[in-house]
Chain A
């Protein structure tokens, strides 16, 4: 603590006059300098592309095209009327609707069950979290094999117990639920870890107080203490899960390639923009995608804002 000692030896009064304003200027200079690389990258990789994206979405630009026409809102009108894009939106929403409640419920149940364990907690935490770290695209290839109609073990088990075989990856009505199941498998461990952190933040004396108030049973304790205290965690888990689900892409790319009516939003954008090079149209789709994300993020933004004001 030599620095602190030095502070004691040099009281502010003994400093040369004019030190204070130059100190503020120096601080402003250092601050600006430190922030410059981030500002440059922010402009180059986020802000400028965002502006370009919005402008592009009003044109008919295609990669390599010589002339570009201003279309106004035509791309958006076309998107909203396009049955393929509408199916991509409804598929994505169905996927979110399956993954979101399941992801919250299973993550919470797993956390509640694991929280009380002492010796086995490490094992369960590892087992449930493993799918989060694994490269999803490689694991999608594994699921492709597991669910294979002829040689996959899942159908072999179904057959062995006398159930009919299921074409999980080609029967249209099963495709989105199958993708959602893999999505759940991927996200439950992540949510469990978040809920575990939330659970360990609940003060123990709240439970004692609840017991005094007559909330003795475990269901009572959950409803009076755990669930209300977990509300911020649950909100955060809901937002991250819905955004993750909304960005479903990897499993679609490996397992269906968007065929058989499995278009999802990101895959549609990928095809229009980077396979057919219809930049203007893909830009409009991306803007719609961003609007959906913003709706999901509003909750999070509100929460971040609150946190910012309190820190």
Chain B
């Protein structure tokens, strides 16, 4: 280590420390709710009610809080519902969007321009807009209050089509022509040649889709009345609104259970998450 004599070095060091200080302060604010959620979920009720801000719990009360949470609300079932809904939505979205995106990117067919225009326009229409008529139609067919009702509005992802079309457009035309001359059908060509090359885009979209639908509250709140079809956010709302809502220990235990899967997924696959976000915006 060389002693720094020049004033510029000291200033740089100071600025460096200052930037880190600000970043750490920001990180504390960002992470504080998570820390408090976890700490409160293992705190004894009496200690929670005394209302301090000392972080370390005096006694470990975790088993009791989590047991209460699981007894009051069937979180296991919420999670299962959430997993089924997210998985089916994602699979159907990909099965619908991949061929459509390929057609829009590489095939000439009547109505292509109109379809693409509608897809782009559809990007501006969130679920809350068609919600009323969709609700009425589902009520008409007696489909409310079921997993199908939870999933059907999301089978078409205009965003997936938009994103994958861009990816497929970059796929070299020569390879497609060559495969065609080889006698490959368009179907085979799409799934065996083009899709495998689009792995990162598909992965990024998958992360985006699962996060969006695991966390969605608005639509489940509308179509689901019975608890046994509720996904995690609706279960959490029910839990926070019930009389046990003042039992913060078990409420935080419930919050830990609901948020844990995505937080773990994020910690494992941070790159994909970040990539997913960047692909949506800047290309």
Beta-carbon nearest neighbor of A246 in chain B: B126
In the assembled complex, which residues on chain A have CB atoms less than 8 Å from the CB atom of B251?
141, 145
Interface size of A as a range: 35 or more
Is the CB–CB distance between A138 and B125 below 8 Å?
no
Is the CB–CB distance between A145 and B248 below 8 Å?
yes
Interface size of B as a range: 35 or more
Is the CB–CB distance between B34 and A31 below 8 Å?
no
Is the CB–CB distance between A293 and B133 below 8 Å?
no
- Mark contacts of B162-179 with chain A using CB atoms, 8 A cut-off: 1 yes-contact digit, 0 otherwise: 000010010000110111
Give bound CA distance, A188 to B31, whole Å: 13
Question: Knowing A28-B109, A138-B254 touch, does A128 contact B178 (C-beta < 8 A)?
Answer: no
Is the CB–CB distance between A289 and B128 below 8 Å?
yes
**A160 CB–B CB distance under 8 Å:** yes
In the assembled complex, which residues on chain A have CB atoms less than 8 Å from the CB atom of B34?
130, 134, 142
**A135 CB–B CB distance under 8 Å:** yes
Is the CB–CB distance between B103 and A31 below 8 Å?
yes
In the assembled complex, which residues on chain A have CB atoms less than 8 Å from the CB atom of B273?
129, 133
Is the CB–CB distance between B124 and A297 below 8 Å?
yes
Choose the segment among A1-9, A74-82, A87-95, A207-215 that binds chain B (4+ C-beta atoms closer than 8 Å).
A1-9
Beta-carbon nearest neighbor of B102 in chain A: A34
**A153 CB–B CB distance under 8 Å:** yes
Choose the segment among A97-105, A119-127, A167-175, A219-227 that binds chain B (4+ C-beta atoms closer than 8 Å).
A119-127
Give bound CA distance, A63 to B144, whole Å: 14
Is the CB–CB distance between B155 and A236 below 8 Å?
no
Partner of B248, one of A124, A140, A151, A266: A151
Question: Knowing A45-B130, A135-B232, A273-B131 touch, does A32 contact B110 (C-beta < 8 A)?
Answer: yes
**A259 CB–B CB distance under 8 Å:** no
**B218 CB–A CB distance under 8 Å:** yes
Question: Knowing A46-B130, A269-B128 touch, does A194 contact B103 (C-beta < 8 A)?
Answer: no
Report the minimal beta-carbon distance from B270 to chain A, rounded to whole angstroms.
6
**A247 CB–B CB distance under 8 Å:** yes
Report the minimal beta-carbon distance from B258 to chain A, rounded to whole angstroms.
4
Is the CB–CB distance between B30 and A153 below 8 Å?
no
Give bound CA distance, A122 to B107, whole Å: 42
**A233 CB–B CB distance under 8 Å:** yes
Is the CB–CB distance between B178 and A194 below 8 Å?
no
In the assembled complex, which residues on chain A have CB atoms less than 8 Å from the CB atom of B258?
135, 137-138
Partner of B23, one of A114, A141, A160: A114
Beta-carbon nearest neighbor of A285 in chain B: B132
Beta-carbon nearest neighbor of B19 in chain A: A113
Question: Knowing A197-B281, A240-B281 touch, does A153 contact B53 (C-beta < 8 A)?
Answer: yes
Is the CB–CB distance between B103 and A233 below 8 Å?
no
**B1 CB–A CB distance under 8 Å:** no
Partner of B259, one of A27, A113, A138: A138
List A residues 11-41 near B (Cβ within 8 Å).
24, 26-35, 37-39, 41
Interface residue SS majority, chain B: helix
**A190 CB–B CB distance under 8 Å:** yes
Is the CB–CB distance between B221 and A253 below 8 Å?
yes
List B residues 62-120 near A (Cβ within 8 Å).
95-97, 99-100, 102-104, 107-112, 115, 118-120
Partner of B129, one of A2, A50, A116, A143: A50
Give bound CA distance, A24 to B195, whole Å: 23
- Mark contacts of A143-168 with chain B using CB atoms, 8 A cut-off: 1 yes-contact digit, 0 otherwise: 11110101111011100100000000
Is the CB–CB distance between B53 and A138 below 8 Å?
no
Question: Knowing A53-B133, A249-B217 touch, does A153 contact B22 (C-beta < 8 A)?
Answer: no
Is the CB–CB distance between B232 and A37 below 8 Å?
no
Give bound CA distance, A109 to B132, whole Å: 40
In the assembled complex, which residues on chain A have CB atoms less than 8 Å from the CB atom of B215?
135-137
Report the minimal beta-carbon distance from A35 to chain B, rounded to whole angstroms.
5
In the assembled complex, which residues on chain B have CB atoms less than 8 Å from the CB atom of A201?
282
Report the minimal beta-carbon distance from B212 to chain A, rounded to whole angstroms.
11
In the assembled complex, which residues on chain B have CB atoms less than 8 Å from the CB atom of A289?
128-129
* Most-contacted residue by chain A among B36, B155, B265, B281 (CB, 10 A): B281
Report the minimal beta-carbon distance from B129 to chain A, rounded to whole angstroms.
5
In the assembled complex, which residues on chain B have CB atoms less than 8 Å from the CB atom of A307?
283
In the assembled complex, which residues on chain B have CB atoms less than 8 Å from the CB atom of A35?
99-100, 103-104, 109, 111-112, 115
**A71 CB–B CB distance under 8 Å:** no
**B14 CB–A CB distance under 8 Å:** no
Is the CB–CB distance between B236 and A135 below 8 Å?
yes
Partner of B132, one of A56, A120, A145: A56
Give bound CA distance, A136 to B216, whole Å: 9
Is the CB–CB distance between B217 and A253 below 8 Å?
yes
Is the CB–CB distance between A273 and B109 below 8 Å?
no
List A residues 49-84 near B (Cβ within 8 Å).
49-50, 52-53, 56, 63
**B146 CB–A CB distance under 8 Å:** no
Question: Knowing A3-B179, A7-B181 touch, does A30 contact B26 (C-beta < 8 A)?
Answer: no
Instruction: For the A-B complex with A27-B186, A156-B53, A283-B132 known, give 15 more contacts whose Cβ atoms are closer than 8 Å.
Output: A2-B182, A27-B108, A28-B108, A30-B186, A134-B262, A139-B33, A141-B240, A141-B251, A145-B248, A151-B50, A151-B51, A157-B53, A185-B30, A240-B281, A286-B132
Would you mind naming 24 contact pairs between A and B with Cβ atoms under 8 Å apart?
A: A6-B182, A38-B97, A49-B129, A53-B133, A113-B22, A125-B274, A127-B26, A129-B270, A130-B34, A135-B233, A135-B236, A136-B215, A137-B233, A145-B40, A145-B252, A148-B248, A194-B282, A197-B282, A232-B282, A236-B281, A266-B218, A269-B128, A293-B124, A300-B123
- 3 interchain residue pairs of minimum CB distance: A31-B109, A49-B130, A31-B107
